[in-house]
């Protein structure tokens, strides 16, 4: 499970919509290993983004998220999370759905759970 050796470099300048994402969600992949599913990405949501239609999310990989700016509101928990907050989710932990009135930017790490 390795993202490979990458000394300081300028990552792709392209922001793309992740597969299955709602409108307004974009990511900029910094590093990834497609075989293992290990990845690091910057993710941004435009103001007004709402993932309600997708319902509660669950992932087969561990996920860490650090909020860089803006706010993220969890509709299930009824809580708003702000810049500087961090979460570490084990595989299959339910979370969301989410809204972001002002938009949000986050640093996201995903990696598969190993035995």
Domains of the chain, start order: 25-112 (2.60.120.10)
Q: What is the pLDDT of residue 59?
A: 87
Query: How much is the pTM?
Result: 0.89
What is the pLDDT averaged over residues 56-60?
Answer: 91
Quick: pLDDT tens for 1-25: 466 777 787 777 789 999 899 999 9
Six token digits for residue 61: 């990989």
Higher pLDDT, 70 or 114: 70
Number of CB atoms found within 10 A of residue 113's CB: 10
Q: What is the pLDDT of residue 115?
A: 52
């Amino acid at each position: 499970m390795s993202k490979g050796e990458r000394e300081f470099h300028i990552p792709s300048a392209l922001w793309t919509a992740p597969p299955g994402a709602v409108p307004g969600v974009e990511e900029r992949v910094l590093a990834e290993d497609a075989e293992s599913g290990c990845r690091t990405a910057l993710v941004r949501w435009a103001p007004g983004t709402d993932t309600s239609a997708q319902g509660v999310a669950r992932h087969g990989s561990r996920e860490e998220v650090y909020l860089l700016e803006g706010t993220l509101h969890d509709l299930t928990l009824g809580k708003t999370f702000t810049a500087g907050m961090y979460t570490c989710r084990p595989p299959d932990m339910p979370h969301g759905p989410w809204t972001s009135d002002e938009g949000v930017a986050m640093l996201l790490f995903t990696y598969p759970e190993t035995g």
